[in-house]
Amino acid sequence: MFKGDRFWDPGLLQRTLAEQAKDLASLTTAFGGGLPMGPENFDALRNPLIERYRQLFMPPGLAAAGDRPANAGAAFLRYQQAMQEFTAQLSAIAMNAGERLAAALARSGPEAPPITTLRELHALWIDCGEAAYAAAAHREDFAEAQAEVLAAFVELRAGLASP
């Protein structure tokens, strides 16, 4: 699931658990000490926990949410735009698959697919999804969107790797 040296580091779990134990100890002290729960105090308790999760799940080289990577700003924006376009393509495929499934289920008579089990319904859904993807994959705009995502990702990775 996770790739990269960061997640295969044997000390990562130990350090993460130690940091969380420290955070929980500070929470226990705060609540045990009768700290009044106003918005300022809640933020003071919440922010260290959020920061720990950011450190754990943020890809190396990327800044916090809302910040651009220092050495890959333009590449990061290009990748975001490419992913937005490609996601729109994938949404269109999913919508088309749903429409195909609805049309197949609405058919009646001898040409209607026989659906008597969940396995047959699943097979029909897969067939509709594959047909929708095959139709989209042959379109020029889909190929361009997919190529742009790949090119933007390579550029982003190169920008993150350079000092």
Residues 44-78: tens digit of each pLDDT: 666 666 676 666 655 555 555 444 445 557 888 88
pLDDT band, very low/low/confident/very high, at 1 (cuts 50, 70, 90) = very low
pLDDT of residue 158: 79
> Would you state the torsion angle of the CA atoms of residues 151, 82, 55, 63, taken in this order, to the nearest 10 degrees?
90
Q: Where are the domains of the chain?
A: 5-57, 73-161
pLDDT band, very low/low/confident/very high, at 2 (cuts 50, 70, 90) = very low
Which residue shows structure tokens 């943020």?
A: 58
Q: What CA–CA distance (Å, rounded) separates 61 from 80?
A: 16
Q: What is the mean pLDDT of residues 19-34?
A: 59
DSSP codes of every residue in 71-121: T-HHHHHHHHHHHHHHHHHHHHHHHHHHHHHHHHHH--STTS----SHHHH
pLDDT band, very low/low/confident/very high, at 111 (cuts 50, 70, 90) = confident
Q: What CA–CA distance (Å, rounded) separates 66 from 43?
A: 19
Query: pTM for the complete prediction?
Result: 0.54
Average pLDDT over the chain, rounded to an integer = 75
